[in-house]
Structure 1
Amino acid sequence: MFYSWGLFSYKHRKVVPLLIVAAILVLFGVFGTQLGDRMSQEGWDDPNSASTAAAKIEQDTFGRDNNGDVILLIDDPDKNFDAAKSYIEGLKEQYPDQIDHVTSYFDSRNPKLKNAESNVAFAAIGLKGDGEQTLKDYRAIEDSLYDTELPVQVAGATAVADALDDGMANDIARAEKAALPLVGLLLLVVFGSVVAAFMPLVVGGLSILGSLGILSVLAGFLQVNTFAQAVVTLLGLGLAIDYGLFMVSRFREELDAGRETQDAVARTTATAGQTVVFSALMVAFALSGLFIFPQAFLKSVAYGAISAVGLAALLSVTVLPALFGLLGKNIDKWTVRRTSRKARTLEDSWWYRLPKLAMKRATWVTVGIAGLLIALTLPTLAMTFGGINETYLPPTQQTRVAQDRFNEEFPGFRTEPVKLVVTGAESNQQLVDVYMQVRGLQGLTEPMTPSTSTVDGTTVLSAGIQDRADYTRIVHELENIEAPEGVELYVGGTPAMEVESLDALIHKLPWMALYIVATTFILMALVFGSLVLPAKAVIMTVLTAGATLGILTGMFVLGAGSGLLSFTPGPLMSPVLVLIIAIVYGLSTDYEVFLVSRMVEARRAGDSTDEAIAKGTAHTGGIITAAALIMIVVAAAFGFSDIVMMKYIAFGMIFALFLDATVVRMLLVPAVMHLLREDNWWAPRFIQRAYTRMGHAQLADAPSPAAPAAETAGMEEPEGPYRGRRTADTDSELVPFSELVKRLEKE
């Protein structure tokens, strides 16, 4: 199928790029430019959780709790705050459509609204808008908040959300401005040709434009979190360039083998193109595991990332083959490297000798590297979980500084209280029964008290929590309170949302793991024609993912490098942990497919197991390393993010790619496959038949113009797609049976 598609792309090489590029530009122009207005800041909570039900009851009864939207901290050494009162009055008069109410010391002179030294007081601004309109209202008044000579600091839940949103936007701009030029230089070094280096950039650029257009379309029907755009840019750009890198490399290899342009295009599509498609499918299936979780945040990231990966694969097998057909040998035009590729042989390369070295000490390499990866996994035992808050901003960021100061000066007014929504209370005695049970809770900033008056039997009790480490204990204690007859209790607030997200993680993560392992195992069995190789790949991926999570825990929970990278260590968001697991698993499987596919191809051509391992690594080692390096460069652009969660994902990708492209793919995989020997290639007949029907074996049986002659005496045709094995009485390797037939016909 892929070979035929390659021929089709060559035949219509002038039309295919024009149609697809035009479609993507229209998609981006019509929809993609509207993405910013369609994105959401929400989607972190479980829509079916008790905390969400509590929030809905509270909003339906009392309106949105907007008391902590914006907090203005004002210093006055004279302690009279007269100028502050005029400043607040001016804001209310200037923005009547955005400001709902203001609670401040400057109006009420409530002593609770100033600090113990009486030189700092605050005003709490409630905004009128609900949902996404809240952030728009804040941005409308933001400049005026700072337009004063008073020493004002701005904090509050909406101000923190705006700072996080700005950080995301800066990350994307940094990636586009800094990463792309550096990636272009790396591609020029890898290919030594300006034209060849430009090809993966074409795929990367078109993939980003198209995926943003798709994401905008989805945002018109679904809740798409702003975080999704950054992840789409990171994954889409990195994988698209990787796929282009593999396609260009294979096309040049086919030309070097003496093939005509048409045949080279078709074979590139049938080999590298097919691998790209299946690799993208595996990444997509890994990311689709996010749909198991209820949070809209995870679902929106999955939608965007899957669309980016799918579009990258589509462009790689449509636009690139057509461009190859147009360019032909001009793919090497504007060469900046003097040495010839034809002067280098596989056997002389470092990538050929390295797996040979690993296979000579296979047992020691396997035990040593597996032990190292397991040791790196151990810090995950110290992993803790929390929610998104101001600590995800850099310690020196002005909103973060203001929020930290407010929490310190006014601990009783935390903007993230835990709440108990009481419904159906028809008498004061019922409320007293509930109140008596919650008054003894330890770890609160003050005893829980009504934050609202009772309306239609509904009351909201609330209080701040002194230490985030007590969130789980306090929320579960509230959940276990015995409600009076006829009364319903709902635990709400940010602490409850965080605890319920963690509970969902613990409950659903095993199902996600089972789903992505099963789906990728089946796909790899079809690609490799073996059941042993997919099992080995899953184990390698789990080792890489575990080591990566261990390193991330050491950094972001335990604090290694926090001062250097300007972030505050602390609990991880459980949804972000789920996301990084899916990304790391997908990327590790991606490189496994490219590496082992070439080993399988060499084995089908008649090489021994060890020789197939060495040749497969030699063919792909340099490309995988270059692809990983390019992906690391893209991820590093996000590693300088102001947002801790983006640092977490970026460094997670960096560590996973480094481990995967070095010790795992170049050393551990060859060593383990050497120990497995002929068992690598085992599969039941139904897998072999499915593998053959996909066209793998037929293409591999076609002789290469540069293939050397092989000894044919005493060879027999074995069953299955692996046309070649050792005979009992000789060390010679078999060549494909179909090739033998062709040679006999020529003789």
Structure 2
Amino acid sequence: MFSTWGDYAYRFRRVIPLVIIAAIVALFAIFGTQLGDKMSQEGWDDPHSQSTKAAAIEQEIFGRDDKGDVIVLVRGDEPHSATSPEVKSSMTVQLNALKQKYPDNLGPITSYFDNGPKQMATEDGRAAFASVAMAGTGEDVLKNFRIVEKDLRNIKVAGATVEIAGATAVSDALDEGMSRDIKRAEVYALPAVGLLLLLVFGGVIAACMPLLVGLLSIMGSAGVLAILASFTQINVFAQSVVTLLGLGLAIDYGLFMVSRFREELAEGNTIRDAVKNTTATAGKTVVFSALMVAVALSGLLIFPQAFLKSVAFGAISAVGLAALLSVAVLPSIFALLGENIDKWSLKKQTRKRSEVVGGIWGRIPTFAMRHSTIVTIIIVTGMLLMAIPLGGIKLGGLNETYLPPNQDTRVAQQHFDEHFPTMRTDPVKLVVKSDDPRAVSQIYQQANKAEGLSGPFQISQATKDGVTVLSGSVADRNNYSRVVNYLHDLSYDGADIYVAGTPALEVESINALFAKLPWMLLYIVAVSFLLMSLIFGSLIIPAKAVIMNILGTGATLGLLTLLFVDGVGSTLFNFTEGPLMSPVLVLIVAIIFGLSTDYEVFLVSRMVEARARGLSTDRAIRFGTATTGSIITAAALIMIVVCGAFGFSTIVMMKYIAFGMVIALILDATILRMLLVPAVMHMLHEDNWWAPAWIKKLSEKIGHNEQLATPTTVSPHSRNLPFSELMKRMQEDKDEL
């Protein structure tokens, strides 16, 4: 099947690249350039939760709660420095001018400085504030803030400092940080990856091939995301994840394709046969590898949060596009280039397979197999120990602590929370529906008995159409659950009580995630196992792979908990330790599992290929590890470089994903794939290849054991042995193990 496509790629080598590249460029030009205007800031919460329903009731009766949109905070060092007549007069003039300049962008302004409530200033007069509402709902709120932001930040008063805080200001800061992350990845990661590819291949032309796939993947993904955003909500965070995964995997896939094509040429194959063999082997592996990653990411669709669904849609599109470009475009370009793939080389020709197997990459699996028991015990024990910190994981929601400690908006929000702890912009609410006036009074009294409040509940919306809204503040934002669970248990005959607000949204979102998480894991494991069974023609190898993936994922999450929850290295990497955002935890689990399976497919496919051509189990393990070791390591390094660009993100959740991928890649590409896989497969020996006959037949139908073209003579430019001759000699060698 894949060999046939390779033949088509050779025959239509001038048409296929032009058509596909033109389509990608058109997709980006028509749709991708509009992506920024279609991104959403919403979608973090469970749309079916009680708190979401409560928010809808409140908005329907009273309109959107906009009091926490923007806080203009005035602070001074001396008593009454923020409440003096001069400050009040200056602030009133500036806020009125702002309202007159932007009548369509601003909502009501409630200000201490203009006869506002006394509670809007501290008793000592060192701090006071104005609440500035933005007009509109949904995405319009943030758009309006960006229109007025410059003038807001230009507000100044003598003798005091003016700071801008509030929920909308925090959202804008997070959004701007993510946009900078994407630009950083594109500006810094691509040149660094290009240099790394040049070192790997030693040739300019060969190094440009994976970069071409990476660039086209970014452009195509932007177009696909823009189209999806026209039909469903796509969170702005999705673009960062898509860039991270799409760019990294696209370059990795291109790396594997180029490496195999050069290897086939070095073995003396004609250009046509080299293209066919590359597509039948590396091409097939790329397709199934992308499918495995897509399966892991599709598990996110099980969850109700629109954020996770949008990341799943975008990332699956990016991975699929990366595989399509690698298998559809690169073989045709290889056919056009031929031996010019090595043009402008900086080092000698590709090493022959016998040299690779006899080198360091062949000695590593030999060592692991010779000491298989002790290697397995040490690595498994180490992985389990690294997973121990996972027991202390804490989950939370999106807030200003995801910004750098010294970021202006974060500092302003923290100052506001310190001065006005009972008026925080993330209150817990009770929406009460009842025609009985006594109901609200009784519920109010019960609610104030909750442990963990920073002050008593207040009536934030007086009774209208039988609906009343009470608001309170939770003292410990890292432990909302105690207060929220208490409020959920409140009841009163003749009244419907809904718990709402940010604390309730977070708690219910976490509960929804944990309710769905086992189903996601079951789905990913089951489908991955089935696909790997078809790829490898074995049931034992997929079972081993799943167990190793679980080990690697657990170890990675344990180390991430140590870093981001316990705070090890927080000063060095400029972030504040604290609870992890629950949807991001689920996302990183899917990504890590997908990447682990990705490298497993590349490694074991080469072992299966060697085994199918007559090598013993140990020889096949050694050959597969040796011939893919350097490529898997290079692929992991490339992904680490791409992730590293996001590791310098100003947004903690992007650091979390980037660090998670870096840790997973280091563990996976070195300890697991190079040592544990050979050791365990050596101990399993012939059992590795067991599967029912029907599995093996299905495996053959999808391209396993495809007949490859072999050279009859060695080409003049190569000193390498033909592949079949190498296999024969290796089989006849004395067993070194």
TM-score band w.r.t. shorter chain: over 0.9
Asked if 2 retains the 8 angstrom alpha-carbon contact of 1:605 and 1:700, the reply is: no
Residue 118 of structure 1 corresponds to 125
**Contact 1:544-1:660 within 8 A present in 2 as well:** yes
- Distance change in 2, residues 1:379/1:343 (3 Å): closer
Instruction: Give the Cα–Cα distance (whole angstroms) in 2 for the partners of residues 297 and 551 of structure 1.
Output: 25
1:119-138 alignment runs, 5 A limit: 119-138=126-145
Deviations 1:257-312 (A, max 9, x none): 10000010011001000000000000000000000000000000000000000000
Q: CA contact under 8 A between 2:269 and 2:710: conserved in structure 1?
A: no
* TM-score (structure 1 length as normaliser): 0.94
In 1, distance between residues paired with 2:508 and 2:353? 62
Query: In structure 1, how many angstroms separate the alpha carbons of the residues matched to 2:502 and 2:635?
Result: 41
Picking from 407, 419, 430, the partner of 2:429 is 419
Size of the aligned set, in residue pairs, is: 717
| 2:466 alignment partner in structure 1 | 457
**Structure 1 residues 60, 586: closer, same or farther in 2, change over 3 A?**
same
Is 1:640 aligned with 2:648?
yes
Counterparts of 1:173 and 1:411 in 2: how far apart (Å)?
37
Equivalent residue number for residue 96 of structure 2: 89
| Equivalent residues of 2:453, 2:473 under 8 A apart | yes
Report the residue type matching 2:438 in the other structure.
Q
RMSD of Structure 2 on Structure 1 (CA): 1.9
> Retained in 1: the 8 A contact 2:110–2:116?
no
Change (3 A) 1:40 1:411: same
1:469-524 deviation digits (Å, cap 9, x = unpaired): 33111111111111322x21111111111101111121110000000001111110
Q: For residues 95-174 of structure 1, what are the structure 2 equivalents within 5 Å?
A: 95-108=102-115, 110-150=117-157, 151-174=161-184
Structure 2 distance, partners of 1:646, 1:315, is: 27
The Cα offsets for residues 38-63 of structure 1, whole Å up to 9 and x where unpaired, read as: 11000001111101001100000100
Contact kept? 1:601, 1:700, Cα under 8 Å: no
The question of 1:69 aligning with 2:69 is answered: yes
The answer for the alignment partner of 2:40 in structure 1 is 40
2:582 is matched with 574
Q: How big is each residue's C-alpha offset from its partner over 1:181-211, in whole Å with a ceiling of 9 and x where there is no partner?
A: 0000000000000000000001000011001
Any conservation in 2 of the 1:74–1:84 contact (CA below 8 Å)?
A: no
Residue number in structure 2 paired with 1:476:
485
Supply the AA of the counterpart residue of 2:216: L
- The answer to whether 1:271 aligns with 2:281 is yes
Cα 1:119–1:368 change in 2 (3 A) is same
In the alignment, what sits opposite 2:25?
25
Unaligned runs of 5+ in 1: 713-723, 734-747
CA–CA distance in 1 between the matches of 2:44 and 2:414?
22
* Larger relative contact order (CA 8 Å, sep ≥ 6): 2
Q: Tell me whether 1:408 sits opposite 2:418 in the alignment.
A: yes
Q: Offset at 1:347? A: 3.3
**Aligned-partner SS, 2:252:** helix
Q: Residue 438 of structure 2: which of 429, 450, 454 is its match?
A: 429
2:620 to 600, 608, 612: 612
Q: Secondary structure at the match of 1:603?
A: helix
Per mean C-alpha deviation after superposition, the further-off stretch among 139-148 and 55-64 is: 139-148
Which residue in 1 is equivalent to 2:718?
Answer: none
Which residue identity is paired with 2:35? L
Displacement of 1:17: 0.5
Amino acid at match of 2:288: F
Measure how far apart 1:684 and its partner are: 0.6
Partners of 2:504 and 2:346 in 1: CA distance: 60
Q: In the TM superposition, what are the counterparts of 1:478-497 in structure 2 within 5 Å?
A: 478-485=487-494, 487-497=495-505
C-alpha contact 1:604 1:700 (8 A) present in aligned 2: no
Residue 371 of structure 2 corresponds to residue 364 of structure 1: no
Alpha-carbon shift at residue 694 of structure 1 (Å): 2.0
Distance 1:520 1:90 in 2: 61
1:642-694 C-alpha deviation (Å, 9 max, x unpaired): 10100000000000000000010000100000110100000011101111222
How far, CA to CA, are the matches of 1:223 and 1:164 in structure 2?
18
Distance verdict in 2 for CA 1:20–1:701, change over 3 Å = closer
Q: Measure, in 2, the Cα distance between the counterparts of 1:104 and 1:710.
A: 82
Per-residue Cα deviation, 1:578-634 (whole angstroms, up to 9, x for no partner): 000000000000000000000111111111111111100011000000000000000
Match of 1:672 in 2: 680
* Distance (Å, rounded) in 2 between the aligned partners of 1:455 and 1:413: 23
User: Counterparts in 2 of 1:45-56, with a 5 A limit?
Assistant: 45-56=45-56
Structure 1 704/183 Cα, relative in aligned 2: closer, same or farther at 3 Å? farther
2:301 aligned with 1:294: no
Cα distance, 1:339 vs. partner?
6.1
For 1:515 and 1:328, the matched residues in 2 are separated by 43
1:248 and 1:393 mapped to 2: Cα distance? 40
Alignment partners' CA distance in 2, 1:588 and 1:238: 14
Amino acid at match of 1:352: G
Secondary structure of the equivalent of 2:576?
A: coil
Cα contact 1:257–1:704 (8 A) shared by 2 = no
1:178 to 2:188 alignment: yes
Identity rate, percent = 58
- Residue number in structure 2 paired with 1:736: none
The one-letter code matched in structure 2 to 1:236 is: G
Quote the offset at 1:703 in angstroms: 7.8
Residue 205 to residue 540, structure 1, CA distance change in 2 (3 Å): same
How far did residue 704 of structure 1 move?
7.8
CA contact (8 A) 1:433 1:484 kept: no
Shift of the alpha carbon at 1:93?
1.6
Output aligned runs, 1:318-717, within 5 Å.
Answer: 318-338=328-348, 341-342=351-352, 345-423=355-433, 425-485=434-494, 487-699=495-707, 706-707=722-723, 709=725
Query: How far has the Cα of 1:429 moved from its partner?
Result: 1.2
1:618, 1:273 → 2: CA distance?
19
Matched residue, 1:195: 205
- Matched letter for residue 527 of structure 1: I
Contact 1:243/1:313, CA 8 A, preserved across alignment = yes
Matched-pair contact (CA < 8 Å) for 2:280–2:706: no
Residue 210 of structure 1 aligns to a residue in which SS?
helix
On the 8 A contact 2:452/2:482 being kept in 1, the answer is no
- The amino acid that maps onto 1:468 is R
Tell whether the 8 Å contact from 2:263 to 2:350 is kept in structure 1 after alignment.
no
Query: Would the alpha carbon gap of residues 550 and 359 (structure 1) be closer, same or farther in structure 2, given more than 3 Å must change?
Result: same
- CA 1:341–1:432 in structure 2 vs 1: closer, same or farther (change >3 Å)? same
